[in-house]
Structure 1
């Protein structure tokens, strides 16, 4: 869900909030977004990402542990457009995206580590709703995610209304 907040202010007010320590890049048109996490772990195979963005997002954020690989893009324009259509607030991807010129026009928050023009192989691999470790922090489905240009915070409790 698109929101207005500052992750530094949220972190100052909630010392229990944890930052996902990476050099995140913004790729979507929405730069400040929040929602409840749904976790995915996959490596260079976005089969599960594709499956999930085709389902109702209900303002959630798909948090993808892609093993920090920049060799294959886990999100492109078609899947991002499907995420918008189905009401996802955003995606936080510890991996790569592609079609960046189109992603920046979509009403979606997208944080990733970089871009790569190559698509993934579809092997039907991946796990969902498992704890994932990204940037030294464990994220679980059901955690609250807050992302802006300063970075990404995760909390087991809501830090403000979504």
Structure 2
């Protein structure tokens, strides 16, 4: 089996370093608020992993993040994402999550309903937890039923900053 090269870039943000790992055709395979691309490899499905190469920028992906940070909250919407879940619901739930608008967070219950399975609240939460492409698949836009933040792989201060940035947008 031939090894795939994955390109990575780390971008400074107001809430700390944000690293993106993209496949050979530029689709985001993982992203998160960490300075270390290697920290993201375990989030990528084994079939999509490869050798990491650090880059100064990733063209449209880097521009989309910069535009998002500058206030164009829709800039990240068109960036291609490539994740593999092993299940139809999870893949569908990630697609649905990309449709949740900035500044309009939903609850886990609301997210499950948007994904077409209103009773599948735990499955919706699992889709958020297993999402490798933070920001591009905006799991930070999902809140607990009581409106509190809930969990976030990259920490609640980051989630709070992202939601505040999107409210101000």
Question: Normalised by the size of structure 2, how large is the TM-score?
Answer: 0.28
Give 1 or 2: higher strand fraction.
1
Give 1 or 2: higher helix fraction.
2
Indicate the structure (1 or 2) with the bigger Cα radius of gyration. 2
Structure with more contact order per residue of length (Cα contacts < 8 Å, sep ≥ 6): 1
Question: Normalised by the size of structure 1, how large is the TM-score?
Answer: 0.29
